[in-house]
Amino acid sequence: MMRLALPLTALLVLTSACGKGGRGHADSATHEATPHWTYAGEGGPDTWGALAADFENCTIGGAQSPVDLPVAAEGAPPALESDHAPVPVRYLFNGHTVQFDGSEGGGITVDGRSYALKQFHVHFPSEHHVAGQSYPGEIHFVHADSSGALAVVGVLVAEGPENPVLAPAVAGLAGLVEGVTVALEATIDPDDLVPEGGYRAYSGSLTTPPCSEGVQWFVMDAPIDLSKGQIDAFAAVTGVSNRPVQPLGDRVVAAGVLD
């Protein structure tokens, strides 16, 4: 049984990467003491910075995410290339989001540097806005380089036809129990969920506590479609799961093209 216990531990640690993996050190020691944070009411985004000493970036950080992305972009973007591979669907509801294990899913290169996919997860409604506009949802593909530096690809979700790539996962959502990883006889190729074409790039943070900065963000211009039923199925599990937009300040947002 020990052979079973190890991969499960690995998955649960990955699970906390959204909130704890700022530099890839999401170890079990920090996992135990994670204060309770939420998206609304007590423990909501306005209070995150006060919940724990290492959450202070949520309040005082000057380069936080998400942001309202401007239409006009300036400067040369980091060059993004996407080279993901199909991953077996292993996912769970971790109390904040539905998170998929991405550990066999290839990765991206940023200015030629490799970042391996760690996990991907959802937010409903979207976290990033574009020219003041929110979207029904957003998917975050979280990658890390060999030093633990993070690069996240954000894909906005629009309401439209059913998304066949996510259909098997959506079908299993109703069976998810908080904290329990479920494996399906299905695969997802993240590149089937990352639209080619334009992207906005900027330097930001984790959008969940501890709101660690130094995260390289790429938000694709083109949304992907999920049907209303698929959006509702995810939102029924996660509830509202978006941090409000944060001040862009003097940060530069650059526009590039993924092809």
Q: Cβ 4 to Zn ion, closest distance in Å? A: 28
Is 140 among the residues that bind Zn ion (CB under 5 A)?
Answer: yes
Among candidate residues 31, 36, 96, 143, the one labeled active-site is 96
CB closer to Zn ion, 106 vs 209? 209
3-state class (DSSP) for residue 27: coil
Q: Cβ 61 to Zn ion, closest distance in Å? A: 16
Cα dihedral 225→228→231→237 (10° resolution): -160
Q: Cβ 185 to Zn ion, closest distance in Å? A: 27
Binding mask 64-93 for Zn ion (x = CB under 5 A): ------------------------------
CA 161, chain centre distance (Å): 23
Cβ within 8 Å of residue 116, ≥6 positions away:
103, 106, 107, 143, 144, 145
Q: Is the dihedral of CA 178, 181, 185, 186 positive or negative?
A: positive
Q: How far apart are CA 184 and CA 101, in angstroms?
A: 12
CB closer to Zn ion, 23 vs 76? 23
Tell me if 109 sits within 8 A of 140, measured CB to CB: no
Q: 165 to 194, contacts with Zn ion by CB under 5 A?
A: none
* Six token digits for residue 44: 């909501």
Interacting span for Zn ion (CB under 5 A) from 29-37, 102-110, 135-143, 186-194: 135-143
- How many residues contact Zn ion, by CB under 5 A? 1
Nearest residue to the partner Zn ion, using Cβ:
140
CB closer to Zn ion, 89 vs 141? 141
> Quick count: other Cβ atoms within 10 Å of Cβ 95?
14
The yes-or-no answer on residue 96 being catalytic is yes
CB closer to Zn ion, 75 vs 207? 207
Q: Cβ 172 to Zn ion, closest distance in Å? A: 20
Cα dihedral 53→41→229→258 (10° resolution): -40
Q: Cβ 110 to Zn ion, closest distance in Å? A: 18
Interacting span for Zn ion (CB under 5 A) from 50-58, 87-95, 136-144, 210-218: 136-144
The partner residues of 158 in beta bridges, in order of sequence, read 225
CB closer to Zn ion, 84 vs 217? 217
Cβ-in-10-Å burial (0-12, 13-18, 19+) of 208 comes to buried
Interacting span for Zn ion (CB under 5 A) from 27-35, 80-88, 104-112, 140-148: 140-148
Catalytic residues: 96
Q: Site residues (CB under 5 A) for Zn ion?
A: 140
